[in-house]
Structure 1
Amino acid sequence: MFQHVSRRGKPRKNSFAEYEQYFPLKGLGAHCEAVAHTINEIACSPRLLTAEEADSLDIDFEPKTRGAQKWKISRLADDLSAASLQTAGGILHSLGLLLKSDIRYPLTPSILARSALENSALVMYLNEDADPWIRTVRAVNVVVNGYENSGGRNNESPYSEATADHIKMKQAFASQGYGKSQKLLNYTDLVAEYFDGFQGGEMYSRFNRSVHHNVVRQIELALAQDRDGRQNAVETFEIAIRAAIAVGAAAFSLQEFRHCSGIDVDPIHALRDVFEDWNSYLNRLGQEGFVD
């Protein structure tokens, strides 16, 4: 696929330097760092929902969802979104540092990118609908899932009371018609749902082959590295740019619920240009190869 065509029309092997000008790992790394800082600013920006509005919502929830005021559930969507977005941004910052270190091996970047996709998809899920009831229902679903995955159903767990209370609220919301329509999907389906536009599901499956031991994946990476490492370098670039776009999309979904008009989001917008240039070049390279 990646062959270099000389002036005489004979294919010849590309030098790695020729790839680096089109897949600048260090440059992308620096950009990922800049985006990560912007992401953190958005996550930390003041919420649009005032304390008075939140208290009023909890009062509205309480008659049908006992415990709403005790746990202040109207604030959950914003709090969970901020935490998940900061996590995704922190991961993106780490990816940036890796790329700036001139890493050309995609194993560790894909492990980090997997978590970035999960957190980003969760933020998208929480902020897909502006209706405060739907945002709150979804937030309760996320909390219940977290408690259950932490053993909260066990009576000896320190989370047992909180788990029981939030399960009751989840059931109460479901009885009002907020059940299946607001269901929290597993991460594989969640990523595929919110990042289907640029192969989110396929990416997530690929990243899983790095997170969990997969001998075929290990052989593929080792063989590519033995040949000349270009394939691994290009994949590392792809992992980073796709993960960065996912985190950026998540940030924009939360932006609608934050006071952050003064934040410069140009670094996030620039990711689309980087991605489109990369994708266009990759397609052209597959068709024509390098030409002197």
Structure 2
Amino acid sequence: MTVWTQLAYAVVLGGGIAAGLLLVATRVPRWAAPSLARRLAPYLRDVTDPRGVTPVAALPAIAWRRRRDALLARLGGAEALGVRLRQAGWSIDAVSFRGRQVAWAAAGVAIGAAAIIALTVTGRMTPFAGILPVVAGALCAVLCDAHLAAAVARRQRRMHEELPTVLEFVALCLAAGESLRDALRRVGEVGSGVLTDELRRAVLASDTGSNLAEALQEMADGVGLPTLSRATDHIVAALERGAPLAQVLHDQAADAREDAKRTLIEQAGRKEILMLLPLVFLVLPLSVLFAVFPGVVMLRLGIG
């Protein structure tokens, strides 16, 4: 047994013991009583200090949050990441997503380390296997970002599909004599899609003091869908100029359907090219092989 094998066994056994001790420690009841500041803070927060009384036990957590926010600000990209999270419909902030990404990277490093231990125990360890933890960690971090990008694309695709139906429904409610706010509220109550959820939030924002046009514009800017932004711009312009909203929504629904049809034709063209790949690289070589192989066998056997 080599030194590396002994080290691998030591890491496995030590990790198991540490995991068991951590599990036991998490189940041990807390014997220490809360501090006096922590017990009095909920009752004195609104009396002594408008900003609240900070318990002494919470100071390390607050310091950690400040350092974490400062590190994220130095890294940059917090605003763009926040926009992407808003487009994906996730309720977490940029700091929480970075924490999740770090957790994914740590899990990748752990998987790479486990692979190195397995290779060492089986005697297949090579010098190039030492970079497995770094590669696995970077790959998991990239996969976390790719998961966010896929969520954004999936949500925007669903909104793009729901937009014509929602606009037609709103136009129908307007033609029946309802106001725009009531029509949007009805669509939000009846519908169950992603776009109806956004409309429900916009109506709620308008009910709590915001202007309806500003709420719709903020919704379109947060979603980042070009067709929805164009339809929202036309609705806001119709509200400001007093144009008939029903006709405007009918026109926008027709434009959205034409855009969806054009997108579907483009996707069909790309899929047609992809369908040629198995035909060229699988079906045609097999056909040629079936046509040529019998003749080659007959020539080798000296028949004919």
Normalised to the residue count of structure 1, the TM-score between the two structures is: 0.22
- Highest relative contact order (Cα 8 Å, sep 6+), 1 or 2? 1
Q: Over alpha carbons, which structure has the higher Rg? A: 2
Structure richer in helix, relative to its length: 2
